[in-house]
Amino acid sequence: MNDSVIAPGSTFTIRKETLHDQVADRIRDLIIEGHLEPGTRIDEARLVEQLGVSRTPFREALRTLAAEGLVVIRPSRGAHVRKLSREDIFSMLELLARLESFAAELVCKRATDADLAGLSDLHDRMMGFYAIRDRMPYYKLNQEFHTQLTALTGNSALIETQGNLQARLKRIRFMGNRNPDLWAASVGEHEEMMAALMQRDGNALGAVMERHLLNAWDRVADTF
């Protein structure tokens, strides 16, 4: 039983995050949001100064990001924001396509009706933003849909891996989707997915999902 006066996860709970975790989060955002361009050298002195922390937690944070694949550290030559090659990105999308296709199958087997209703709701809100062509909130709900679908598999390793890939691809995928036709196609695939999902047709859902993510390649392939 929970004896705490304060509800867990509320804004009152003092979340004690170490400095290096905060720094890692911060740099991760800077990279994902594009404030730190791929290939850029990470200027330790400058960032340390800007963030107001010492080098120790900063460097620990860098090691975390390196393990996550967002940053590359060359001994004695500093850290750079990892620059993904075409092949890297294709690899990641190809893998993500399979992972989420798998997730789709599992969800059809394992999720409760309430879970599916939640996804449906997410989908509807997303479509609301498509209707008025509001790109940013659409994009965010889209990400959330994929995250949530994966979460419902209950497979922690899958959830972690999908999350990592999604994070790494985040910026790149946001750059895509600016062509109205491609956006419409993407929306169409989402409609197909919802249909399959409601019937718990795992094979169909998996197939659409894989196609959906492989198509994502076409939507970003020319942007670099």
Q: Which residues contact its own copies by CB under 8 A?
A: 16-18, 20-21, 56, 59-61, 63-64, 66-69, 75-76, 87-88, 91-92, 94-95, 98-99, 102, 155-158, 160-161, 165
Choice from 1, 9, 15, 16 touching DNA (CB under 7 A) = 16
Is 73 a binding residue for DNA by CB under 7 A? The answer is yes
Site string for DNA, 50-69 (x = CB under 7 A): ---xxxxx-x----------
Q: Is 71 exposed, middle or buried (0-12, 13-18, 19+ CB in 10 A)?
A: buried
Calpha distance 49→65 (Å, rounded): 19
Calpha distance 9→93 (Å, rounded): 33
Calpha distance 75→56 (Å, rounded): 16
Tell me which residues in 74-133 interact with DNA (CB under 7 A).
Answer: 75-79
Is 26 a binding residue for DNA by CB under 7 A? The answer is no
Site string for DNA, 158-197 (x = CB under 7 A): ----------------------------------------
Residue 37 binding: pick among DNA, its own copies, none (C-beta 5-8 Å cut-off by kind): none
> H helices within the chain, ranges in order?
19-32, 44-51, 55-68, 86-110, 113-131, 135-151, 156-175, 180-198, 202-220
Considering the complex, what minimum distance in angstroms separates the CB of residue 200 from its own copies? Answer: 19
Q: What is the dihedral of CA 184, 189, 190, 193, to 10 degrees?
A: 170
Q: What is the dihedral of CA 75, 80, 81, 84, to 10 degrees?
A: -70
Residue 44 binding: pick among its own copies, DNA, none (C-beta 5-8 Å cut-off by kind): DNA
Is 15 a binding residue for DNA by CB under 7 A? The answer is no
Cβ–Cβ under 8 Å, residues 28 and 67: no
Considering the complex, what minimum distance in angstroms separates the CB of residue 54 from its own copies? Answer: 12
Is 39 a binding residue for DNA by CB under 7 A? The answer is no
Calpha distance 136→207 (Å, rounded): 27
Residue 116 binding: pick among DNA, its own copies, none (C-beta 5-8 Å cut-off by kind): none
